Amino acid sequence: MAPDYGRIQDDALQILDALCRCGSVSAEGRELDETAALVQELLNEAGFETKQLRADEGPAAVWGEQRGRSDYTLLLYNHYDVQPVDPLELWDSPPFEPTVRDEKLFARGSADNKAELAVRLAVLRALREANDGELPIGIRWIVEGEEEVGSPNFEQIVERNVDLLRADGCLWEGASAVLPDGRPEFGLGFKGALFVRLHIRALATDAHSALAAVAPSAAWRLVEALASLRAPDGTVAIEGFYDRVLEPTAAERAALASSSKSEAAEVLDVLGLEEFVDGLTGDALLERLCYSPTANIAGLASGYSGPGVKTVLPAEAAAGMDFRLVPHQRPREIFELLRAHLERHGFGDVEVTLLDAADPATTPLDDPFVARVVAVAEAVTGATASIVPIAAATLPIIAPLQRLVGVPGLAAPDNPVYSGSLAHAPNEHIRLADVEPAIRFTHALFQDLATAR
Amino acid sequence: MAPDYGRIQDDALQILDALCRCGSVSAEGRELDETAALVQELLNEAGFETKQLRADEGPAAVWGEQRGRSDYTLLLYNHYDVQPVDPLELWDSPPFEPTVRDEKLFARGSADNKAELAVRLAVLRALREANDGELPIGIRWIVEGEEEVGSPNFEQIVERNVDLLRADGCLWEGASAVLPDGRPEFGLGFKGALFVRLHIRALATDAHSALAAVAPSAAWRLVEALASLRAPDGTVAIEGFYDRVLEPTAAERAALASSSKSEAAEVLDVLGLEEFVDGLTGDALLERLCYSPTANIAGLASGYSGPGVKTVLPAEAAAGMDFRLVPHQRPREIFELLRAHLERHGFGDVEVTLLDAADPATTPLDDPFVARVVAVAEAVTGATASIVPIAAATLPIIAPLQRLVGVPGLAAPDNPVYSGSLAHAPNEHIRLADVEPAIRFTHALFQDLATAR
């Protein structure tokens, strides 16, 4: 008997509604315990044995386990926390009152990442019901509460619970169920990231700018230190920065070349650009995006930046930077290269602080788990999957899962989101039309993996 | 009969008390009309014919005139407005309730510039009284209300009233009556200034920093544009910037060499510095301070500069800059050189806005007015005057007075302030011990000039 996808969708939307009524803003430490309790209750009701896992700090992660008919065990990762809602006045409906308009469901956290959690749970409930209360495969699930603040305690939670997380494969937070060109999307990895703060204090106190003739300037020092980090062609001038950077393999290039590029025009439009840097398009654009490490200035601050004039020689100046790193680059090593570069170029007075770091992590294209999951998606959709071997962004949870647990994983098209979902912005939403494709794929995958060993 | 300096001082402090009770904060448009009315009333009571002079915008300047026994006419400049009081919590007594503690009088505006106004007025009242209601010289006086916001309308007021301002000499806002080494201080000029804003918009909206690999960065563009303005040795790299800069003359060097350097150590201490740039001291330090034009970054702003991490590629970046200019440099010409430099170096996307400009202006060291006033100060104090031919700061009122009215002027030691007066800071004050020296000099000068023609 074919599954009743409509009923599963109704169930998923009901779960999603309940989850989205929780204002689980991790940056504000808001309603995290309550939301964790709701997730735990939902898992319990679906037949999971559950517990809360904790690090020394931070909210609990909810863990659940349920055996299946086959020995195959799949690990699922989700997060129950959401981004802050500011600016509230730009929302067309209250962010924690899920509202359907124009075939879309609006709520903070709907796209990131509660809809995927609801889809997975509704599919599991349907599979249990259709199989006399048993799942086709074993499921382990970890739902953390700090993804939106960089998962600072996730590694410790994993370290303490490696045995609870072992599995044959893992679904990370997922990719788009349906891309604009109708293809299902896969992501096999993420860049690493290094976040630093550069700070210079040149004077004990701000001075009158007339003194600029004879007193040192923190702002000029910062400008010159930053300028030394970048070559005229836009590449990073830190000595040794590219030493570990490898060209993509032929297989990676082929995957990238055959992946969907349907979103590039939309990104240009949103950013108000005629073209990307160096006029990049197509394969070359994607290769730069995914395989080039970056050095970005996220913020600059010094002195007076209000309207009009202030005659000030600022006492201090600061910059926030992030470096996106490709496989084999290590954030702590890059941090040391940065410090050495500044020292060598006469900027020893620039104080550099490491704010956060995440290793790059990828699952190889030729991992059997990848082939199996992709095959299911292509069979369900009748379309060729779009596979991005490494994404330009960073998901810090991947490296600990791979290094400590050793489980191959990927971002699969079980997530009813699209590039317009406004994940971190006002009016975050999902399109209702994306829910059923996510359910169909998830339903097929959970059944298919029962024969995977 | 010798003048009763104690009585004149009591009178000056009484006038000062009344003036300091007015919260005439020009930046906030506060109590300006009331303070102008009080100044006008004080001048009327002292025998002046007065009126209010206005530009198209801004508060009135108070003008007064009184003939003297001799034909000599001296123009006085003061301002009745004051700086804002923020941060109020750092004041030890309310800023608009003049309070005497430790032989100091604390009030916003006491040092800048109401005490000098009070000294001048008290001396004039004493001289009238001692001379049957007549002054030894003619006095014209202009007291404006926008000095603390850069005197944006002063030039128009001067333009419209040139005939009311003609005089044989002018006392600008004054210098310290008593320097730490006991000498009276003179200032013969000020650097010019050019205030600009550099702004770059690279994207229509802030983007996720993962896009830094392929999207342009406003922050990097700003850093690189700024870096191009400065040579490695700290000089300004704008082509043509130094073309009009002259070496100081032998006479100017000699004046500078014999001027007081007693404040350098104190400035180092306040700024928390071991030494000034390039290890400058003594004459070389003063020459750099007074005769080198500067390019200062007053502010930098881009993206996120709060605590922690934000993964943002900022859409825009901005810098506030001021250039202090020496005689013969012209701010509008420097503005065009800056624009041409940016264009030539590939930074045509940097938008440059002129915020404010003031010409440099000096009275020549060999002007007879200078010799006469200095001689009076040296006779009264028995000390050699400290004469700075050009100050590092900018007083925008000087250039219009010189160009339009053609009157030689200087900053004379009739001002009871010292380097610790905290002119623009909380707990602004004067030392009571500085009042009598200012009165003695002023009294002697006004009598001496009666024989000056």
Can you give the residue range of the structural domain that contains A197?
Answer: 192-245+293-358
Examine the domain organization and report whether A184 and A307 are in the same domain.
no
* Two tokens, residue B284: 């070389």
Whether residue A440 is predicted with pLDDT greater than 90 in this model: the reply is yes
Question: How distant is the Cα of B214 from the closest Cα of chain A, in angstroms?
Answer: 5
A253 lies in a domain? no
Q: How many CB atoms lie within 10 A of CB A123?
A: 26
What is the reported pLDDT for B425? 87
Beta-carbon separation of A294 and B212 below 8 A: yes
Question: Which of A191, A198, A223 would best serve as a mutation to test chain B binding (most B beta carbons within 10 A)?
Answer: A223
pLDDT value of residue A87: 86
- The pLDDT score that the predictor gives to residue B86 is 86
Residue A1's pLDDT is 64
DSSP string, A32-70: HHHHHHHHHHHHHHTT-EEEEE--SSSPPEEEEEE-BSS
pLDDT of residue B311: 86
| Cross-chain residue pair B205–A294, CB shorter than 8 Å | no
pLDDT score at A308: 83
Size of the A and B interface in Cβ pairs below 8 Å: 229
pLDDT, mean of residues A88-107: 96
* Predicted local confidence at residue B424, as pLDDT: 84
C-alpha A99: how far from its chain's center?
A: 25
Sheet holding B316-325, edge to edge: A351-358, A192-201, A316-325, A294-303, B294-303, B316-325, B192-201, B351-358
The verdict on A89 and A104 lying in the same domain is: yes
Q: Is A345 helix (H, G, I), strand (E, B) or coil?
A: coil
Give the nearest chain A residue to B356 (CA atoms). Answer: A309
What pLDDT is attached to residue A327? 95
Cis peptide before B307 (omega within 30 of 0): no
Q: Do B377 and B398 have their domain in common? A: yes
pLDDT of residue A2: 82
Question: Could you tell me which chain B residue has the CA closest to the CA of A317?
Answer: B300
Q: What does the block give as tokens for B52?
A: 């209010």
Distance in angstroms (rounded) separating the CA atoms of residues A336 and A438: 43
Mean pLDDT of A107-131: 97
Q: Most B CBs within 10 Å: which of A269, A286, A296, as the mutation test of the B interface?
A: A296
Q: Are A447 and A207 in contact (CB under 8 A)?
A: no
Angle between helix axes A435-448 and A5-20 (nearest 10 degrees) is 110
Measured between CB atoms, which of B204, B314, B391 is closest to A272? B204
Indicate the residue of A193, A220, A292 with minimum beta-carbon distance to B213.
Answer: A292
Q: Is B312 among the domain residues?
A: yes
Provide the shortest C-alpha distance from residue B277 to chain A (in Å): 5
Give the whole-angstrom CA distance, residue A52 versus residue A31.
16
- List chain B residues with CB under 8 Å of A198: none
Whether the bond into B44 is cis, omega within 30 of 0: no
Rounded to a whole number of angstroms, the distance from the CA of B292 to the nearest CA of chain A is: 7
- Name the residue facing B324 among A210, A216, A272 (closest C-beta): A210
**Contact state of A300 with B299 under an 8 Å Cβ cutoff:** no
pLDDT tens-digit profile of B359-407? 999 999 999 999 999 999 999 999 999 999 999 999 999 999 999 999 9
Which of B272, B301, B304 has the CB atom closest to A203's CB atom? B272
Question: Which H or E element spans position A342?
Answer: helix A331-344
Of B208, B213, B314, the CB nearest to A288: B213
Half-sphere exposure of A313 (CA within 13 A, CB side): 25
Q: Is A329 on the interface with B (CB under 8 A)?
A: no
Cβ contacts of B296 on chain A, cutoff 8 Å: 209, 212, 217, 313
- Contact of A345 with chain B, judged by CB distance below 8 Å, is answered with no
A240 and A323 together in one domain? yes
Does B285 fall in a domain? Answer: no
The arithmetic mean of pLDDT across residues A414-442, rounded, is: 95
Check residue A310 and give its pLDDT.
85
Which residues in chain B come in under a pLDDT of 70?
1
Indicate the pLDDT class of residue A131, thresholds 50, 70 and 90: very high
* pLDDT above 90: residue A158: yes
Task: Look at residue B281 and tell me if it is in a domain.
Answer: no
Q: Which residue on chain B is closest to A226 by alpha carbon?
A: B223
Q: Is any Cβ of chain B less than 8 angstroms from the Cβ of A250?
A: no
The shortest CB-CB distance from B294 to any of A203, A213, A271 is to A213
Q: What is the biggest distance separating any 2 CA atoms in chain A, rounded to whole angstroms? A: 85
Can you give the pLDDT at residue A86?
86
Chain B residues touching residue A189 (CB < 8 angstroms): none
Please tell me the distance in Å from B232's CA to the nearest CA on chain A: 9
Look at chain B and report how many structural domains it folds into. Answer: 2
Is residue B65 domain-shared with residue B201, that is, in the same domain? no
- The CATH number for A428's domain is 3.40.630.10
Distance from CA of A425 to the nearest CA of B (A): 11
Query: Å from B272 to nearest chain A CA?
Result: 5
**Residues found in chain B:** 453
Q: Which of residues 255-274 of A touch B (CB under 8 A)?
A: 267, 270-273
Same domain, B25 and B94: yes
pLDDT in tens, A272-314: 999 999 999 999 999 999 999 999 999 999 999 888 888 899 9
Q: Which residues of B touch A288 (CB under 8 A)?
A: 213-214
Token readout for A362 is 């990828």
Residue A382 forms part of a structural domain: yes
Determine how β-strand B351-358 pairs with β-strand A429-431. Answer: unpaired
- Residues A248 and A429: their CA atoms lie apart, in Å, by 35
Closest residue in A to B279 (Cα) is A214
B310, B327, B358 - which closes a domain: B358
A393 in contact with chain B, both atoms CB, cutoff 8 A: yes
Same domain, A98 and A201: no
Q: Mutating which of B146, B222, B223 best tests the A interface, going by the most A Cβ atoms within 10 A? A: B223
Chain A residue numbers with beta carbons less than 8 Å from the beta carbon of B207 are 271
Residues of A in contact with B324 (CB under 8 A): 209-210, 212-213
Query: Which residues of A, range 122-181, sit inside 8 Å of B by Cβ?
Result: 150
Give yes or no: residues A73 and A147 share one domain.
yes
pLDDT greater than 90 at residue A261: no
pLDDT at position B419? 87
Question: Quick check: A215 and B273 CB within 8 A?
Answer: yes
Query: A235 to chain B: which residues are within 8 Å by CB?
Result: none
Measured CA to CA, the distance from residue B273 to residue A102 in angstroms comes to 64
Within this chain, do residues B233 and B136 fall inside the same structural domain, yes or no?
no
What is the dihedral angle through the alpha carbons of A281, A283, A284, A290, rounded to the nearest 10 degrees? Answer: 110
Cα–Cα distance list, B435 to B123, B253, B415 (Å)? 11, 31, 8
CB-CB under 8 Å, B308 with A391 = no
Q: Do B313 and A298 touch (CB under 8 A)?
A: yes
A-chain residues within 8 Å CB-CB of B229?
Answer: none
Residues B180 and B239 in one domain: no
Judged by CB atoms closer than 8 Å, whether chains meet at B310 and A320 is answered as: yes
Cβ-defined contact of A217 to B296 (cutoff 8 Å): yes
User: Per-residue pLDDT averaged across A30-58, rounded?
Assistant: 98
Contact A215 B310 (CB under 8 A): no
ipTM: 0.91
Instruction: Please judge whether A209 and B314 are an interchain contact, meaning their C-beta atoms are less than 8 angstroms apart.
Output: no
Buried b (16+ CB within 10 A) or exposed e, B53-83: bebeebbbbbbbbbebebebbbbbbbbbbbb
Cβ A215–B271 below 8 Å, yes or no? yes
Report B:365-384 residues touching A (Cβ under 8 A): none
Q: CB A215 to CB B300 under 8 A?
A: no
Query: Per residue in A170-207, pLDDT tens?
Result: 999 999 999 999 999 999 999 999 999 999 999 999 99
pLDDT at B1: 65
Cα torsion at B409, B411, B413, B419 (round to 10°)? 180
Domain-ending residue, one of B330, B358, B386 = B358
Q: Which residues from A are below 8 Å from B313, CB to CB?
A: 296, 298
* CATH label of the domain that carries residue B317: 3.30.70.360
Give the torsion sign (CA, A298, A303, A304, A309): negative
Q: What is the pTM of this model?
A: 0.90
Out of B311, B339, B358, a domain closes at: B358
**In this structure, is residue A322 part of a structural domain?**
yes
Q: Does residue B219 sit within a domain? A: yes
CA distance B313 to chain A (A): 6
- List the single residue in A213, A271, A303 with the smallest CB-CB distance to B392: A213
Residues B315 and B371 in one domain: no
Query: In terms of domains, do A350 and A421 share one?
Result: no
Pairwise CA distance, residues B243 & A30, whole Å: 62
**Beta strands A73-79 and A138-144, pairing class:** parallel
B-contacting residues in A 27-46 (Cβ below 8 Å): none
- B99 lies in some domain: yes
Which residue in chain A is spatially nearest to B235 when comparing CA positions?
A213
A209 contacts on B by Cβ (under 8 Å): 294, 296, 298, 322, 324
Look at residue B305 in the predicted model and tell me its pLDDT. Answer: 87
The residue assigned the tokens 């709701």 is: A38
pLDDT score recorded for residue A262: 79
Q: Are A83 and A424 in contact (CB under 8 A)?
A: yes
User: Which residues of B163-304 form beta strands (DSSP E)?
Assistant: 169-171, 185-187, 189-190, 192-201, 207-208, 294-303
Give the DSSP H or E segment for B138: strand B138-144
